Amino acid sequence: MQEDRPMLVARISAEISASTDLAEVCEWLIERQYNPVHVHAAHLPAIGLSTRLRVARPITARRAVFCTLWLLEDADGGGCVAAGTLRFVSHPTASDVRLSFAGLMVRTARGDDAALQLLELIASSVARRESAWQTEPISAAG
């Protein structure tokens, strides 16, 4: 039985700095393209759901990498919780990268918090590059 209530969608965005380089970012994105990441609800408390993080093929430029990101409910036929553009831009003289996400999120009042938590999770994953990310759930010890 389908519900007749309207779906709530909000624009979300966040930006952080990460200690990584664009080569590592590209490798991580390519690995994740065919191996969606399982994210426990505890790692994205603003969403409160177990999800799968999927990314599209990255588009590269001289000092930037862009890709589309989807966060899907981790259930059979799970719906899309968030979708948008993930952007990594390197600083011309420093070693850090600006990581940003802008998109839409369904069913949350804490969208920007969720976007920030998602970016922090991605930044730490790229930095540690553990093989467990390929198929295992993210652990708090990671």
Q: With a cut of 70, say whether residue 23 has pLDDT above it.
A: yes
CATH number assigned to the domain covering 9-130: 3.30.530
Model confidence pLDDT, tens digit, residues 36-54: 888 988 988 888 889 999 9
The H helix count followed by the E strand count for the chain is 2, 7
Residue 94 — pLDDT band, cuts 50, 70, 90? confident
Residue 115, Cβ density class (10 Å: 0-12 exposed, 13-18 middle, ≥19 buried): buried
- Kind and range of the H or E element at 123? helix 111-128
List the one residue out of 80, 67, 82, 90 whose CA is nearest residue 115. 82
Model confidence pLDDT, tens digit, residues 106-119: 866 677 888 999 99
The mean pLDDT of 8-14, rounded to a whole number, is: 88
List the one residue out of 100, 103, 63, 98 whose CA is nearest residue 82. 103
Answer yes or no: are the C-beta atoms of 39 and 75 closer than 8 Å. Answer: no
Residue 139 — pLDDT band, cuts 50, 70, 90? very low
